[in-house]
C-alpha cells in the first residue's frame, strides 16, 4: 500500500513533535545548572498546585464559563497569530508580554482551580502549536507554570483580604482593595519568575533590559483589568460579555499597530535593527555628528565559518548562535548605540562619540565577549549540546578620520573586515590611515 505525500508529511511532522516533547531531548539540559534547578523548581510547584486543584469540583455552569473563556482565548490568539510570532522572536532576552493573561486571570477569578489550571494548559499548548512551535518546550512549560503560581498567589491574597464574596468576586471598597492587591501579586509573581529565569540563563543581562519596555507592562496591567471585567460580567450571567469579547479582539489589533511598526524595523530572528532601519537612523546620527563635530564609529562584525557551523550542527543551531551574538552585542552596547543585522551572519554597530583610539578597544572587547560564549543548541541528531567555538572578525571605521559619508564609512569598515578575515579571522582590523 503506497503512502501519499500528504500522509508522509503529517507523519514526519508528528514524529518531530513527539521527538521535541520527549523530556530527554529538551534543550533545558544544555542550560547552566542554576537555570535547570530554577525551572524544575517552578515546574514542580506548579504541578503540585495542579494536583491539589484536581481535587476541586466543577458544575455545569463552570464548564460553560470555561468553554466561553477557552473559545475567546483561542479566537484572540488566532486573530493576532502572525504578529505574535514576530513579537515573541523579537522579545528574545526580555520578558515577553502577551494578552493571554486576561483569559487566564479571568479563569482564576471565576472558575474552580481545576478548570483554571486546565485553561492555562489549553492556552499555552495552543500557543505553542500555532504560534511558536520552534520555541523550546520547556520554556512554554515554564511560562505556564508561572501563571499557575501567580494565580494561586492571587487567590491566596483575595482569601486573606476579603474572605466573603458575592458571585465568587469581592465587592465594596474592601473588595476593590483585595482585587487590586490580587492583581498586583499576580503580575509580580508571573513577571518576577520570568525575569529571574532570564537573568540566570543570560549572565550579564541588565535587570532593566530583562524587565522589558515599561509600555509593555502597561499593556499587561490593562489586560489584567480586562480579565477582571470579563470575570465580573460572566459571574453575573450577563450577555454583555459577548460585546466585551469583541471589543478585546478589536483593541488588541489596535494595540499591536506599534508592534507592526516595530516589526518592520527590526530583524525578527535577532531583534536588532534591520538594514533599512539601521541605515536610516545611522544617516541621522551621522548628520548630527557633522553638526556637532563629534566623532562616530562603525563596526562591521562577521561570524567566522558560519556556513560550516550550519552544515555541521544544522540551521536551528545557527539561529541560536545568531541570537547569542546579538545578545552579546546588546549587552556591550551603550543605550544610545545602535546594532543592526545586515543579513546572513553579518552585523553592524553604530557608536556615536567614539574616536579612532576608542573604537579599537570596543571592537576587541566585543570580539573577546563573543569568543567566550557557550551557546546551548539542539544538533541535527536532536541531542542538546553547547557550542563554545563562536568566533567573529571585526572591521572598524571612524568619521571623520576615515570618511564623512555613510556609504563610504561602511565600505571602509567592510574592507577592514575583509583584512581581518584574510589575516586569519577572529581578530580586529582598523581602517588604514
User: What CA–CA distance (Å, rounded) separates 112 from 122?
Assistant: 15
Region of poorest pLDDT, from 38-42, 94-98, 117-121, 223-227: 94-98
Region of poorest pLDDT, from 200-204, 319-323, 399-403: 200-204
Is the bond into 194 cis (omega within 30 degrees of 0)? no
- Facing residues of 350 across strands? 298, 338
User: What CA–CA distance (Å, rounded) separates 122 from 104?
Assistant: 10
Tell me: the pLDDT tens digits for 230-251?
A: 888 888 776 777 777 777 666 6
Predicted local distance difference test score (pLDDT) of residue 197: 86
**pLDDT of 208 above 80:** no
Residue 20, C-alpha cell as written in the block: 521535541
Predicted local distance difference test score (pLDDT) of residue 1: 47
Q: What is the mean pLDDT of residues 192-215?
A: 77
Check if the beta carbon of residue 88 is closer than 8 Å to that of residue 132.
yes
Any idea what the Cα angle at residue 151 is, between residues 150 and 152, rounded to 5°?
90
- Facing residues of 296 across strands? 352, 399
Predicted local distance difference test score (pLDDT) of residue 260: 54
Q: What is the mean pLDDT of residues 15-29?
A: 61
How buried is residue 239: exposed, middle or buried, by Cβ count under 10 Å (0-12/13-18/19+)?
Answer: exposed
Region of poorest pLDDT, from 235-239, 250-254, 276-280: 250-254
- Between 379 and 360, name the one with better pLDDT: 360
Per-residue pLDDT band for 408 (boundaries 50, 70, 90) equals very high
Q: Residue 2: CB partners within 8 Å, gap ≥ 6?
A: none
Tell me: the pLDDT tens digits for 108-167?
A: 988 999 999 999 999 988 888 877 655 677 888 898 999 999 999 999 888 887 665 544
**pLDDT of 171 above 80:** no
Predicted local distance difference test score (pLDDT) of residue 366: 93
- Facing residues of 346 across strands? 302
Q: Residue 34: CB partners within 8 Å, gap ≥ 6?
A: 200
HEC profile of 208-233: HHHHCCHHHHHHHHHHHHHHHHHHHH
User: What CA–CA distance (Å, rounded) separates 433 from 401?
Assistant: 8
Closest of 256, 214, 259, 221 to residue 94, by C-alpha: 214
User: What CA–CA distance (Å, rounded) separates 430 from 412?
Assistant: 9
- Between 259 and 27, name the one with better pLDDT: 27
CATH number of this structure's domain 275-430, picked from the four choices 3.30.70.270, 3.50.50.60, 3.10.20.440, 3.40.109.10:
3.30.70.270
Which DSSP category does 47 fall into?
A: H
- Between 199 and 350, name the one with better pLDDT: 350
Per-residue pLDDT band for 310 (boundaries 50, 70, 90) equals confident
Mean pLDDT of the chain: 81
Instruction: Please tell me the pTM assigned to this model.
Output: 0.59
Question: Where in the chain are the domains?
Answer: 27-265, 275-430
- Between 125 and 21, name the one with better pLDDT: 125
**pLDDT of 52 above 90:** yes
Amino acid at each position: 500500500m503506497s503512502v501519499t505525500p500528504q500522509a508522509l508529511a503529517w507523519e514526519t511532522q508528528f514524529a518531530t513533535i513527539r521527538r521535541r516533547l520527549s523530556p530527554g531531548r529538551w534543550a533545558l539540559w544544555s542550560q547552566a545548572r542554576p537555570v535547570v534547578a530554577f525551572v524544575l523548581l517552578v515546574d514542580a510547584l506548579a504541578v503540585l498546585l495542579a494536583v491539589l486543584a484536581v481535587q476541586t469540583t466543577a458544575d455545569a455552569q463552570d464548564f460553560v464559563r470555561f468553554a466561553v473563556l477557552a473559545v475567546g482565548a483561542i479566537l484572540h490568539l488566532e486573530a493576532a497569530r502572525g504578529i505574535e510570532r514576530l513579537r515573541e522572536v523579537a522579545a528574545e532576552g526580555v520578558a515577553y508580554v502577551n494578552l493571554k493573561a486576561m483569559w487566564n486571570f479571568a479563569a482564576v477569578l471565576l472558575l474552580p482551580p481545576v478548570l483554571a489550571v486546565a485553561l492555562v494548559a489549553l492556552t499555552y499548548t495552543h500557543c505553542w502549536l500555532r504560534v511558536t512551535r520552534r520555541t523550546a518546550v520547556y520554556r512554554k512549560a515554564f511560562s505556564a507554570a508561572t501563571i499557575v503560581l501567580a494565580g494561586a498567589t492571587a487567590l491566596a491574597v483575595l482569601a486573606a483580604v476579603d474572605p466573603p464574596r458575592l458571585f465568587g468576586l469581592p465587592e465594596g471598597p474592601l473588595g476593590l482593595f483585595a482585587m487590586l492587591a490580587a492583581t498586583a501579586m499576580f503580575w509580580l509573581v508571573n513577571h518576577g519568575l520570568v525575569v529571574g529565569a532570564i537573568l540566570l540563563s543570560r549572565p550579564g543581562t541588565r535587570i532593566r533590559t530583562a524587565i522589558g519596555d515599561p509600555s509593555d507592562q502597561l499593556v499587561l496591567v490593562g489586560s489584567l483589568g480586562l480579565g477582571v471585567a470579563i470575570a465580573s460580567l460572566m459571574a453575573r450571567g450577563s450577555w454583555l460579555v459577548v460585546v466585551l469579547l469583541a471589543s478585546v479582539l478589536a483593541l488588541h489589533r489596535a494595540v499591536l499597530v506599534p508592534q507592526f511598526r516595530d516589526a518592520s524595523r527590526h530583524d525578527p530572528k535577532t531583534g536588532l535593527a534591520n538594514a533599512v532601519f539601521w541605515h536610516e537612523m545611522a544617516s541621522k546620527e551621522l548628520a548630527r555628528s557633522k553638526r556637532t563635530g563629534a566623532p562616530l564609529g562603525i563596526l562591521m562584525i562577521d561570524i567566522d565559518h558560519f556556513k560550516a557551523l550550519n552544515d555541521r550542527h544544522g540551521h536551528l543551531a545557527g539561529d541560536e548562535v545568531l541570537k547569542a551574538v546579538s545578545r552579546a552585542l546588546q549587552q556591550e552596547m551603550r543605550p544610545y548605540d545602535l546594532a543592526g543585522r545586515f543579513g546572513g551572519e553579518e552585523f553592524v554597530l553604530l557608536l556615536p562619540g567614539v574616536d579612532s583610539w576608542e573604537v579599537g578597544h570596543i571592537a576587541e572587547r566585543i570580539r573577546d565577549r563573543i569568543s567566550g560564549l557557550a551557546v546551548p543548541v539542539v544538533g541535527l541528531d536532536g541531542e542538546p549540546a553547547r557550542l563554545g567555538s563562536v568566533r567573529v572578525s571585526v572591521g572598524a571605521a571612524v568619521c571623520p578620520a576615515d570618511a564623512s559619508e555613510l556609504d563610504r564609512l561602511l565600505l571602509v569598515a567592510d574592507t577592514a573586515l575583509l583584512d581581518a578575515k584574510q589575516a586569519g579571522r577572529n581578530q580586529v582590523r582598523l581602517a588604514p590611515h
